[in-house]
Amino acid sequence: MTTETNSGSCCGSGSCGSDATVDVQGAGVTTIYKVSGMTCGHCESSVSKEISALDAVTTVTAVAKTGEVTVTSTAPLDEEAVRAAVDEAGYELVGRA
């Protein structure tokens, strides 16, 4: 089951800064990452979508306002895989928060 909430876009929807959440299933290891460049709901959605495609990821919550992305997975994630996913979305993984 995949649930995606896109709170807005860069195209003027007026809801920049709200959370974007992708819930794939379950719970497990939670890691918070700092990501630079996110400014709105569209940014949050893009980062969430790319990270949620990684194996073992169950939940992703990106918050542009804080630059934090909370990732829950069934096993610890390879940080380089997370970095590649964030890069694919067009942003920069700064590291763990």
Domain locations in the chain as residue ranges: 3-7+17-96
> Is 2.40.110.10 the CATH classification of the domain at 3-7+17-96?
no
DSSP-derived secondary structure letter, 90: T
Bridge-based pairing state of the strands 57-63 and 92-96: unpaired
pLDDT one-digit tens code per residue, 11-66:
344 444 444 444 445 458 999 999 999 999 999 999 999 999 999 999 999 999 99
Count of Cβ atoms closer than 10 Å to residue 80 Cβ = 9
Rounded to whole angstroms, the Cα distance separating 61 from 43 reads: 12
> How far from 57 is each of 35, 50, 65, CA to CA, in Å?
17, 11, 23
Rounded to whole angstroms, the Cα distance separating 26 from 11 reads: 33
Q: What is the per-residue pLDDT for 28?
A: 86
Q: How confident is the model at residue 4 (pLDDT cuts 50, 70, 90)?
A: very low
Read off the pTM: 0.74
Structure tokens at 65: 């306002």
